Amino acid sequence: MLELEGLVRHFDGVRAVDGVSFSVERGKVLGFIGPNGAGKTTTMRILATLDTPQSGDARIGGYSVVDDPEKVRRITGFMPDYAGVYVNTTVTEYLDFFARAHDLRGEARRKAVSNIIEFMGIGDLRDRNVESLSKGLKQRVALGRALIHDPQMLILDEPAANLDPRARIEFRTLIRELAADGKTVLLSSHILTELSEICDSVTVIEKGHILATGTVQDILEGIRSRRILSVRLAGQNDGAERFLLEQPGVLNVHEAGGHLQFEFGGGDDDQVDLIRRLLAAGFPVLEFSAHSAGLEDLFIEITEGQVQ
Amino acid sequence: MSRPRDFLGWLENRSDSLSPIVVKEVRQLVRAREFMYSFGASLVAGLMVASFGAGDALTGKGTSGSWTFAALMGCLAFLGLAVVPLGAFSALRNERMEQTLELITLTALSPRRVVIGKLLTQGVKLATLFAAMAPFIAMSFVLGGIDFVTILVSILVLFLWSVWACALCLCLSTLFKARAMSVLVFGAGGVVLFVILSMAGNLFMLARRGGVSGPVVFGAATGSGSWMTLAIATSFCLASMANLVFLAENRLSLPSENRVTPLRTGFLVQFLLIAAWTLTSINGPAADRSGAVTALGIFGGLHLGMVAIFTVTEDLVVSRRAFLHMKSTSRWRWLLAMFRPGGGRGAVYVLAQMAVLLFAAWMLGADRFKVRWLVAVCGYVCFFTGAPVFFFRLLRPARAASLQLRVAVMALVLASVLLPDILYYLLWRPDVFDLKYSARHLLNPFRTLANWPLVETRAWFSVPVALGLTGLLAYLGVIFTGMGMAGQPATIDPDGSGATAGEPGSAHVLY
């Protein structure tokens, strides 16, 4: 559905986007993560046809964003990181305007507006002025605007930025529903836990370069040579720390919250052997766990946190 | 279902045929405080003027319709040429500031539809304000002293120029992103509006008198002079309004689009109008035809100069998107070539118009003196727009972006106007600094063309001929350089310093 090929965009000599390539299949949700100034918004603006690349191309539904921006716009909905609302305009009028602007006419237009109002759950707001809504509600109306012409591809730049926890949960559900409906979603966010729960896969970008693409676990396994393991013993840890350090592949043993945490360079079989040896040595093992890596770990692991 | 609801439903369906921008803005308009104030103020002003007019009529000292109408037109002119255009300026500017213009860009609305929608909204606003004044204007007719045709023509003319002022303000609002520059531009726009207000006043007086020399009111005018003036002004207004819309569209379009063809077509129509109006004297007496040739040289030359600054300096390489769109299979494509971007086609476009200019002069039976003057006009245009562009492209091809080339053209014009006198003063240190036109001013195109009889009598032809030939050769150079680049679109530049896939030359973000 979405293919980027060597996308390049400079601003005054700075390569905001430098040879970015990745792809997303239909009906999938891809999280786009990276520190501020990494090139996320620039890439998204190019995909939304608001900017042009200096080289490379991107195809949405087979249409080039450089050669066929009109066709791309027909099948793409873009929600930028600002609401973009009008004064003296009700929610219904706001959505009606964008439906008209997408060349929806008569009954089709009315149906599109009422469907979106229903889908977004903003029926109570239909006669409220858009500018008077809270940030979260504006965000919801903005998502409705991006969906009004029933696009196949959704590009959402920081969509959860202004939402309260409850609205975030509702938003997550909306995105999953859209993906289940066959829409492809590309979304960026700083709230990384948010992304890990919504996205099928993630793409990490820094200084305009793609650092990694895949599922969170795949990427972590790909980039980490060691896994982090944790052992909790019944009673004192006397001698356990020393014993672990003597085992092959074990590094940096330290105590954290009653657990012994350490890096382990072996594979699954080696890990089984390690547990056996611990038990054979008579250590009262209460818990043994592999540290579950999240998106934040991945982010810290991959990026240097530098902006251009 | 009740009748009012049926009617509203019917209206809703009919609104599908309107521009979405108009529908949205009219909905906003009826709730906007600014519009309520101006509508209320126009009603109060109309009522006051009409009351004074009625009071004056009751004294029995004569008819008061004439001055009542003039006062009402003054009120309308203020609204139409100042208040509504100010709204037009902020309408598009606010869309940019609030970034809602980006959201519109993502829809099926093209930049042209957006600009036309904004302009039509101003038309609706104007029509509402004019309608509010209509009863009072009708009253001025009843009070006597003014005929119906004068009233009708004056209102139509004012309405048209008000829409033109709105188009100008829309265009100005697209020029700069920075607030300070916008304010500066609008200040300059204010001065232009002041000039237009004066023009509108003169036009009204012209209409009142039935032409410059006519003693009677418009409707009863015996001569066709006033109607001719009106027709010229109206056609110019419509053509330039379309060009203002195209200019605003150009500013709102992505750099990768073909932003040139509508502008080229529009400005060619404007130029042909200038030629056509002068050609109306073709069967007139020799003095009229000579005057027509002079008008052709002045207005046509100014038009060509302005157009050449922008067309000859354009990028020679076109974007990939524009290139793909230009791959027409029509057998008329060679005719359309000069309307397309890049490849030195801008220079061909200007040369073609120069040929039209000289052909129109020949049709008017211009004498040798006038022909030489017109050739000099073309020669100076060629030199000042062609030479800096060609040499810049030759010597610094990497830096030859449109903006730099335009600055170079303007710098050369400025130098040619100022340097002869400055150098003369610095080098010769004259006791009396004589600014009268002399041989040293031959580099100055404005003074030379204004003093052409002196150039003829003193036979100072060498400088204009040399400049003209240099200009023509430079134009040919630009065309041949462009032809070499026209076969392929902009290529990928690994350093990103030159031509690019998305756009030729340097890249800009849309807003």
Interface contact A19, partner B, CB < 8 A:
no
Count of all residues that appear for chain B in the document: 511
Of the pLDDT bands very low, low, confident and very high (cuts 50, 70, 90), residue B431 is confident
Mutation pick from A97, A114, A141, A150 vs chain B, by most beta carbons of B within 10 Å, is A97
Task: Decide if pLDDT at B448 tops 80.
Answer: yes
Q: Which residues of A touch B117 (CB under 8 A)?
A: none
Asked if residues A7 and A21 have their Cβ atoms less than 8 Å apart, the reply is yes
User: Which stretches of chain B sit within 8 Å of chain A by CB?
Assistant: 13, 16, 20, 23-24, 27-28, 31-32, 98-100, 102-109, 254-256, 319-321, 324, 492-494, 496, 500-503, 507, 509-510
Considering only CB atoms, B320 lies closest to which of A15, A66, A86, namely: A66
Looking at chain A from residue 170 to 209, which residues have their Cβ under 8 Å from any Cβ of chain B?
Answer: none
Q: Is A193 exposed, middle or buried (0-12, 13-18, 19+ CB in 10 A)?
A: exposed
pLDDT at residue B222 tops 60 = no
Name the minimum distance, in Å, from the CA of B347 to any CA of chain A: 27
State the DSSP string of B25-80. HHHHHTT-HHHHHHHHHHHHHHHHHHHHHHHHHHTTSS--HHHHHHHHHHHHHHII
What average pLDDT does chain B have? 82
pLDDT at B75 over 60: yes
B324 contact residues in A (CB cutoff 8 A): 67
Dihedral angle sign, alpha carbons of residues B259, B260, B263, B269: negative
What pLDDT is recorded for position B328? 62
Residues 54-73 of chain A whose Cβ lies under 8 A from any Cβ of chain B: 54-57, 66-67, 69-70, 73
A89 and B27 within 8 Å at the Cβ level: the answer is: yes
Note whether A51 contacts B28, CB cutoff 8 Å: no
* CA separation for the pair B387, B408 (Å, rounded): 10
A128 versus B180: which is more confidently predicted?
A: A128
Choose from A12-21, A94-103, A267-276, B416-425 the range with maximum mean pLDDT. Answer: A94-103
What's chain A's average pLDDT?
A: 84
Q: Look at A102 and B108 and tell me if their CB atoms are within 8 Å.
A: yes
Query: pTM here?
Result: 0.81
The answer to ipTM > 0.85 is no
SS3 B404: helix
Residue range B133-138: average pLDDT? Answer: 88
pLDDT of residue A151: 93
User: Do the Cβ atoms of B16 and A100 come within 8 Å?
Assistant: yes
**B249: nearest Cα among B311, B312, B314, B174:** B174
Residues on chain B touching A100 (C-beta within 8 angstroms): 16, 20, 23-24
- Chain B environment of A67 (Cβ under 8 Å): 320-321, 324
At B361 the pLDDT is: 93
Chain B residues in contact with A49 (beta carbon < 8 A): 105-106, 254
At residue A303, the pLDDT reads: 66
Give the model's pLDDT for residue B128.
Answer: 92
Note the pLDDT of residue B511.
34
Annotate B390-414 with b (16+ C-beta within 10 A) or e (fewer). bebbeeeeeebbeebbbebbeebbe
In the chain, the amino acid numbered B129 is L
- Closest partner CB to B99 (pick from A52, A82, A100): A82
| CA gap A46, A66 in Å, rounded | 9
Q: Which pLDDT score is estimated for A222?
A: 65
CB contact under 8 A, B98 and A54: no
CA–CA dist B107, B92 (Å, integer): 17
Mean pLDDT (whole number) for A151-159: 90
Q: Does the beta-carbon distance from A84 to B100 stay under 8 Å?
A: yes
Of B31, B106, B324, the CB nearest to A48: B106
Least confident of A99-103, A234-238, B41-45: A234-238
Question: Is residue B35 scored above 80 in pLDDT?
Answer: yes
B293 vs B317: CA distance, rounded Å: 37
Residue of B nearest to A87 (CA): B28
Q: Mean pLDDT over residues A228-252, rounded?
A: 84
pLDDT attached to residue B509? 35
Name the 3-class secondary structure at B145: coil
Contact A102 B492 (CB under 8 A): no
Lowest model confidence (mean pLDDT) among A182-186, A284-288, B349-353, B483-487: B483-487
What pLDDT sits at residue B213? Answer: 39
Measure in Å the smallest separation between the Cα of B109 and chain A Cα atoms.
Answer: 6
What's the pLDDT score for residue A282? 87
Residue A212: what are its φ and ψ, rounded to 5°? Answer: -160, 150
Q: Which residues contact A230 (CB under 8 A, 6 or more apart)?
A: A256, A259, A260, A261, A262, A287, A288, A289, A290, A291
Query: Do residues B18 and B123 touch, judged by C-beta distance below 8 A?
Result: no
Lowest mean pLDDT among B7-16, B26-35, B370-379, B401-410: B7-16
> Using the 8-state DSSP alphabet, how is residue B299 labeled?
I
pLDDT, tens digit (0-9, with 9 covering 90-100), for B499-509: 333 333 333 33
- DSSP letters, B426-487, are HHH--SS---S--GGGGG-HHHHHHTHHHHHHHT--HHHHHHHHHHHHHHHHHHHHHHHHTT
The nearest alpha carbon in chain B to A94 belongs to: B24
Calculate mean pLDDT across residues B398-422: 88
Model confidence band, residue B215 (pLDDT cutoffs 50, 70, 90) = very low
- In 3-state terms, what secondary structure has residue B306? helix
**Residue type at position B124:** V
Mean pLDDT of B277-302: 90
Confidence of residue B496 (pLDDT cuts 50, 70, 90): very low
Block residue for tokens 């979304």: A187
- CB burial class (10 A; 0-12, 13-18, 19+) of residue B233? middle
B19 and B113 Cβ atoms separated by less than 8 Å = yes
Which neighbouring-strand residues pair with A255? Answer: A260
Q: Are A187 and A198 in contact (CB under 8 A)?
A: yes
pLDDT at residue A238 greater than cutoff 80: no
Q: What is the DSSP letter of A86?
A: -
- State what percent of residues in chain B have pLDDT above 70: 86
Nearest residue on chain A to B505, alpha-carbon basis: A54
Half-sphere exposure (Cβ direction) of B143: Cα atoms closer than 13 Å: 29
- Are the Cβ atoms of B107 and A98 closer than 8 angstroms? yes
Sign of torsion, CA A67 A70 A76 A78? positive
Domains and their CATH numbers in chain A: 2-221 (3.40.50.300), 225-292 (3.30.70.260)
The predicted pLDDT at position B311 comes to 92
Between A232-246, A273-287, A288-302, B154-168, the lowest mean confidence (pLDDT) is in: A288-302
> Using 50, 70 and 90 to split pLDDT, how confident is the model at B348?
very high
Contact A87 B27 (CB under 8 A): no
The structure tokens 């801008």 sit at B346
Q: Burial, A207: exposed, middle or buried (Cβ in 10 Å; 0-12, 13-18, 19+)?
A: buried
The set of residues, in sequence order, having a beta carbon less than 8 Å from that of B361 and lying 6+ positions away, is: B293, B296, B297, B370, B371, B374
Interface of A with B in 71-100 (CB under 8 A): 73-74, 76, 78, 80, 82, 84-89, 93, 97-98, 100
Q: Residue A99 carries which side chain, given as an amino acid letter?
A: A
**pLDDT exceeds 90 at position B221:** no
CA distances from B482 to B26, B242, B333, B395, B487 (A): 47, 29, 17, 15, 9
In sequence order, the 6+-apart residues with CB closer than 8 A to the CB of B177 are B96, B511
For B223-273, write each residue's pLDDT tens digit: 567 788 888 889 999 999 999 999 999 988 887 788 888 999 999 999 999
**Spatial distance between the Cα atoms of B509 and A46, rounded to a whole number of angstroms:** 10
**Residue B432 in this model has a pLDDT that exceeds 80:** no
Q: A101, B104: Cβ pair inside 8 Å?
A: yes
Q: Using CB atoms, pick whichever of A50, A87, A102 lies closest to residue B105.
A: A50
Which among B224, B265, B84, B63 has a CA at the least distance from the CA of B146? B63
Give how far A195 is from chain B: nearest CA, Å: 25
Quick one: average pLDDT of B286-296?
Answer: 90
Alpha-carbon gap: B159 to the closest alpha carbon of chain A (Å): 27
* CA–CA gap between residue B15 and residue A97 (Å, rounded): 11
The token pair at B232 is 């010229």
| Window A:141-160, CB contacts with B under 8 Å | 145, 149
Paired tokens of A94: 């706001």
More confident residue, B304 or B94: B304
Summarised one tens digit per residue, pLDDT across range A46-84 is 999 988 888 888 999 999 998 888 899 999 999 998 888
Could you give the angle at which helices B65-78 and B179-209 cross, rounded to 10 degrees? 160
d(CA A251, CA A258): 18
Cβ-based contacts of A128 with chain B (< 8 Å):
none
Q: Which of A28, A3, A23 is nearest to A181 (CA)?
A: A28
